[in-house]
Structure 1
Amino acid sequence: MTGLSEAQTVPHRGGGRRATLVIVVVVVAIAVIGLALWLADGLVRGMAQDGVEDALESKLPDTVDADLEVSIGGGFFLPQLIAGTFNDVTVAARDAEVGGIPFDIVVTAHGVPLDENGTIDETTAVVTGGEDAANALLALGGADPQLSLGDGTLSYDQSSSFLGFAVGYTLVTEPTAHGDSVSLTPVDVRVATDVGNLDLTAFVNNLLGNEPVTVCVASSLPEGISVDDIDVTPEELTLTLSATDMPRNGPDLDSRGSCDAS
Structure 2
Amino acid sequence: MAATSDPNAGAADTAVIPDGWGEPSPKRPRRGARAVIVAAVVVVVIAVLLAAADAFARSATEAQLAETIERRLPATVQGDVRAQVGGASVLWQLVTGTATEVALTSEGLTVQGAPVGVEVVARGVPLRGEGVIDTVDATLTLDEDSLNALVRAQHAPGGFSLGDGTVGYRGTLDVFGVTVSYEATARAEAAGDRVLLTPVGVEIGAGGVSVDAGDLVSRLLGGDPLEVCVADRLPEGAKLTSVQVTPERVRIEASAADVPMAAESLERTGDCG
Q: Which residue of 2 aligns with 1:203?
A: 218
Matched, 1:255 2:269: yes
Query: Structure 1 residues 136 and 121 mapped into 2: Cα distance closer, same or farther (>3 Å)?
Result: farther
Q: Residue 66 of structure 1 aligns to which amino acid in structure 2?
A: G
1:198-237 equivalence runs, <5 A: 198=213, 203-204=218-219, 207-208=222-223, 212-237=225-250
In structure 2, the CA distance between the partners of 1:74 and 1:36, relative to structure 1 (3 Å rule), is: same
Range with bigger deviation, 196-205 or 213-222: 196-205
CA deviations on 1:223-253 (whole Å, 9 max, x unpaired) are 1010011111111111111110001246443
The correspondence of residues 26-41 of structure 1 with structure 2, limited to 5 A, is 26-41=39-54
Choose which of 130, 148, 151 in structure 1 pairs with 2:164. Answer: 151
Note the C-alpha offset of 1:199: 7.1
Q: CA deviation at 1:220?
A: 4.0
State the partner residue of 1:240.
253
Q: TM-score, normalised by structure 1?
A: 0.80
Aligned match of 2:120: 107
Cα distance 1:62–1:120, how it changes in 2: closer, same or farther (>3 A)? closer
For residues 10-159 of structure 1, the aligned pairs below 5 Å read 17-135=30-148, 144-159=157-172
Number of residue pairs aligned between Structure 1 and Structure 2: 245
Q: 8 Å contact 1:189–1:201 — kept in the other structure?
A: no
* Larger gyration radius, structure 1 or structure 2: 2
2:64 alignment partner AA: G
Matched residues, percent identical? 33
1-structure distance, mates of 2:134, 2:216: 44
CA distance change for structure 1 residues 55 and 219 in 2, over 3 Å: closer, same or farther?
closer
Greater shift after overlay, 78-87 or 187-196? 187-196
Q: Is the contact between residue 138 and residue 217 of structure 1 (CA under 8 Å) also seen in structure 2?
A: no
Which residue is equivalent to 2:14? none
Q: For 1:51-78, what per-residue CA distance to the aligned partner results, in whole angstroms no more than 9, with x for missing partners?
A: 2222222334554331111111111101
User: 5+ residue gaps in structure 2?
Assistant: 1-26
CA drift of 1:116 comes to 3.2
Kindly provide the CA deviation profile for residues 186-220 of structure 1, in whole angstroms up to 9, marking residues without a partner as x: 21122212237957796247733xx6444443344
Structure 2: distance between partners of 1:95 and 1:167: 39
CA RMSD of aligned residues (A): 3.2
